[in-house]
Amino acid sequence: MCKYIFVTGGVCSSLGKGIASASIGALLKSAGLKVFTQKLDPYLNIDPGTMSPFQHGEVFVTDDGGETDLDLGHYERFIDTSLSKLSSVTTGKIYDEVLDKERRGGFLGGTIQIIPHITNTIQEKITKAAEKSECDIMVVEIGGTVGDIEGLPFLEAIRQLRHKLGPENTCFVHLTLLPYLEGSKELKTKPTQASVRELRSIGIQPDFILTRADHPIKKEHIKKIALFCDVNEEYVIPAETVDSIYEVPLRYQKHNITELIAGKLKLGKIKPNLKEWEEVNKKIKSKKNSVKIALVGKYTGLDDAYLSVLESLEIACYHAGKTLELLWISSEKLEEKDKQTWEDLKKADGIIVPGGFGVRGIEGKIMAAKYARENKIPYLGLCLGMQIMTIEFAREALNNNKITSEEFDEEGKTDKENYIIHFLPGQCKDGKKGGTLRLGSYPCKIAKDSKTYSLYKITNIDERHRHRYEFNNEYLNKLEEKGLVFSGINPKRKLIEIVEIKDHPFMIGCQFHPEFKSRPNKPHPLFKGFIEASIK
Q: Which residues bind to ligand GLN, rule: CB under 6 A?
A: 355-357, 383-384, 407, 466-469
Residue 383 CB, shortest distance to ligand GLN, in Å, is 3
Question: Cβ of residue 451: shortest distance to ligand GLN, in angstroms?
Answer: 22
* 524 given a catalytic annotation: no
Strand order in the sheet with 419-423: 404-405, 419-423, 469-471
Our CB check for ligand GLN shows the closer of 344 and 407 to be 407
* Catalytic-role residue among 156, 406, 407, 515: 515
Nearer to ligand GLN, 356 or 440 (CB): 356
Helical ranges in 434-481 per DSSP H: 451-456, 476-481
Query: Considering beta carbons, is residue 42 or 385 the nearer one to ligand GLN?
Result: 385
Phi, psi of 118 (to 5 degrees): -70, -45
Residue 492, classified by CB atoms within 10 Å of its CB into exposed (0-12), middle (13-18) or buried (19+), is exposed
Give the helix ranges, DSSP H, for 238-306. 248-253, 257-264, 275-285
Distance (Å, whole) CA 536 – CA 479:
28
Rounded to a whole number of angstroms, the minimum distance from the CB of residue 507 to ligand GLN is: 18
**Nearest CB to ligand GLN, comparing residues 277 and 471:** 471
Nearer to ligand GLN, 427 or 534 (CB): 427
Q: State the sign of the Cα–Cα–Cα–Cα dihedral 227, 231, 237, 241.
A: negative
Query: Per the residue annotation, which of 383, 428, 444, 510 is the catalytic one?
Result: 383
Cα within 13 Å of Cα(524), Cβ side: 27
Is there a catalytic annotation at residue 428?
no
| Least Cβ distance, residue 345 to ligand GLN (angstroms) | 20
From 221, 513, 524, 532, the catalytic residue: 513
DSSP string, 373-428: HHTT--EEEETHHHHHHHHHHHHHHTT-TT-EEGGG-TT--S-GGGEEEEE-TT-S
Annotated catalytic residue 513: yes
Q: CB nearest ligand GLN: which residue? A: 355
Q: How far is the CB of 483 from ligand GLN (least distance, A)?
A: 24
Report in angstroms how near the CB of residue 466 gets to ligand GLN at its nearest. 5
| Complex with ligand GLN: residue 319 or 467, whichever CB lies closer | 467
Alpha helices in 254-361 (DSSP H): 257-264, 275-285, 307-319, 331-335, 339-347
Query: Which of 535, 57, 513, 34 is closest to 307 using CA atoms?
Result: 57
Q: In this structure, are strands 170-177 and 3-9 parallel, antiparallel, or unpaired?
A: parallel
Residues tagged active-site = 383, 513, 515
